[in-house]
């Protein structure tokens, strides 16, 4: 296949960090991104060039382009962490062996919101032919996080766990795991409209954080079901209040910051007398610390779940590359699914 000299890409307009903490919302992408024609990147040793078929938009992408994520932006480099496509070139034995292979990938060197992405061969996962592009393009960030965090739930031994922002793609995956393993989720959402769908997916309880009696209802559910793990991507005062309403030994595992509110820790004594803990989870660290054989097993299970319909990536909008800058903010306002970018 002939690889062109240049490609269309949605590139970042800023370097480094912004110092703000406004959360993964976007009024307008134009201050952060621009569509450009740029040279197709060349693989160095251990890297592959991927012809992108589809790229997903995750909250981490929005944190990142705004300069609020855990790694610095690079001005002029394409945005987009995750996608799927076909490897068209590689350098080094393993990278070359992937040429022609359809892969899910995390873009480590040149982002996925482009016609071609550049990444480490080790950041690619060969994809089963029976998986849809929609599931392949969103196969790493959320599914691996769901599997890894659900292991924490299983090891805890309790009969339920609490999951906030449960209408998120990650929430739906975690609820499905809870259903299949007999440890059903206590889900919280901010919109009542999401509740029924989450019950249908297998959540034991769905509580609406904006309801006037939310705190009383949560206290009753926590007393009855005795969860010890709070998997939380919101990080607001409701999250803190739920944590303090949970039993001894409760762990608040924070893995996202959807709210820009700074919660107050109102009951410090619980850390001393009730052995409570606040922890963080980041998939990047899990990838680095988990042995290869275990990661392979997890990936196989992820693909099996998508192939058999136990999991499904919901898509709320599709944007061609040349409409991303103008259309991304509006597309992100459509609820209950991922925005997918196609070249």
Ligand X SMILES: NC(=O)c1ccc[n+]([C@@H]2O[C@H](COP(=O)([O-])OP(=O)(O)OC[C@H]3O[C@@H](n4cnc5c(N)ncnc54)[C@H](OP(=O)(O)O)[C@@H]3O)[C@@H](O)[C@H]2O)c1
Binding status of residue 239 toward ligand X by CB under 6 A: no
Pick the stretch among 4-12, 118-126, 167-175, 320-328 that binds ligand X (CB under 6 A). Answer: 167-175
8 Å CB contact between 8 and 37: yes
Site for ligand X in 276-295 (CB under 6 A): 281-283
Q: Which is nearer to ligand X, 49 or 141 (CB)?
A: 141
> Would you count residue 246 as binding ligand X (CB under 6 A)?
no
- Ranges within 173-192 binding ligand X (CB under 6 A): 190-191
- Does the protein bind ligand X through residue 340 (CB under 6 A)? no
Among 110, 119, 259, 313, binds ligand X (CB under 6 A): 259
Residue 44 vs 262, nearer CB to ligand X? 262
Is position 234 an interface residue for ligand X (rule: CB under 6 A)?
yes
CB of 272 to ligand X, least distance (A): 28
Q: What's the length of the chain?
A: 343
- Cβ at position 306, least distance to ligand X in Å: 15
Under 8 Å CB-to-CB from 247, ≥6 apart: which residues? Answer: 222, 226, 227, 228, 274
Structure tokens at 268: 């410090």
The only residue of 118, 141, 187, 208 in contact with ligand X, by rule CB under 6 A: 141
Cβ distance to ligand X smaller for residue 84 or 283: 283
83 binds ligand X (CB under 6 A): no
**Applying CB under 6 A, does 167 fall inside the site for ligand X?**
yes
Q: In the complex, what is the shortest distance from the CB of residue 30 to ligand X, in angstroms, rounded to a whole number?
A: 21
Q: For the CB of residue 37, give the shortest distance to ligand X in the complex, in Å.
A: 30
Residue 110 is a binding residue for ligand X (CB under 6 A): no
**Alpha-carbon separation of residue 17 from 13, 72, 149, 322 (angstroms):** 12, 6, 28, 26
Q: How far is the CB of 242 from ligand X (least distance, A)?
A: 12
- Residues that contact ligand X, how many (by CB under 6 A): 23
Give me 73's structure tokens. Answer: 């932006």
Q: Does 244 bind ligand X (CB under 6 A)?
A: no
Taking CB under 6 A as the criterion, the residue among 12, 47, 58, 313 binding ligand X is 58
Which stretch in 54-62, 92-100, 125-133, 223-231 sits in contact with ligand X by CB under 6 A? 54-62
Least Å from the CB of residue 244 to ligand X: 18
Give the nearest distance from C-beta 71 to ligand X in angstroms: 12
**Residues in CB range of 150: below 8 A, 6 or more apart:** 174, 177, 178, 181
Angle (CA) 29-34-36 rounded to 5° is: 155
Q: How far apart are CA 176 and CA 310, in angstroms?
A: 7
Q: By CB under 6 A, which span of 4-12, 163-171, 214-222, 290-298 interacts with ligand X?
A: 163-171
Sign of CA pseudo-dihedral 138, 140, 141, 143: positive
Binding range to ligand X, per CB under 6 A, among 104-112, 128-136, 252-260, 288-296: 252-260
Cβ atoms of 319 and 328 within 8 Å: the answer is yes
- CA–CA separation, 338 and 167 (whole Å): 12
- Least distance between ligand X and beta carbon 139 (Å): 12
- Measured CA to CA, the distance from residue 282 to residue 208 in angstroms comes to 26
Rule CB under 6 A: say whether 214 interacts with ligand X: no
Interface residue list for ligand X (CB under 6 A)? 58-60, 141-142, 145, 165, 167-170, 190-191, 233-234, 255-256, 258-259, 281-283, 335
């Amino acid at each position: 296949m002939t690889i062109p000299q240049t490609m269309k890409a949605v590139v970042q307009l800023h370097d480094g960090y912004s110092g703000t903490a406004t959360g993964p919302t976007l009024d307008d992408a134009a201050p952060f991104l621009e569509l450009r024609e740029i040279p197709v990147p060349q693989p160095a040793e251990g890297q592959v060039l991927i012809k992108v078929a589809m790229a997903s938009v995750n909250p981490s992408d929005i944190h990142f382009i705004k300069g609020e994520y855990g790694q610095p932006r690079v001005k002029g480099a394409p945005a987009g962490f995750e996608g799927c496509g076909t490897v068209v070139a590689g350098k080094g034995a393993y990278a070359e062996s992937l040429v022609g292979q359809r892969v899910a990938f995390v873009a480590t060197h040149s982002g996925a919101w482009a016609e071609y992405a550049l990444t480490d061969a080790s950041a690619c996962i060969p994809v089963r032919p029976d998986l849809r592009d929609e599931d392949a393009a969103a196969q790493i960030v959320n599914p691996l996080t769901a599997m890894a965090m659900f292991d924490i739930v299983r090891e805890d031994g309790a009969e339920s766990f609490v999951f906030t922002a449960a209408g998120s793609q990650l929430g739906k995956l975690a609820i499905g795991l809870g259903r299949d393993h007999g440890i059903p989720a206590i889900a919280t959402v901010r919109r009542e409209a999401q509740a029924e769908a989450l019950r249908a997916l297998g959540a034991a309880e769905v509580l609406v954080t904006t309801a006037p009696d939310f705190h009383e209802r949560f206290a009753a559910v926590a007393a009855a079901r005795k969860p010890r793990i709070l998997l939380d991507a919101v990080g607001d005062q409701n999250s803190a209040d739920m944590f303090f309403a949970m039993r001894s030994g409760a762990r608040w595992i924070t893995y996202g910051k959807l709210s820009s509110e700074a919660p107050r820790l109102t009951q410090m004594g619980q850390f001393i007398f009730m052995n409570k803990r606040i922890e963080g989870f980041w998939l990047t660290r899990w990838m680095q610390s988990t042995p290869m054989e275990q990661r392979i097993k997890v990936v196989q299970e992820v693909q099996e779940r998508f192939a058999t319909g136990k999991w499904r990536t919901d898509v709320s909008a599709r944007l061609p590359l040349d409409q991303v800058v103008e259309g991304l903010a509006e597309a992100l306002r459509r609820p209950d699914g991922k925005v997918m970018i196609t070249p």
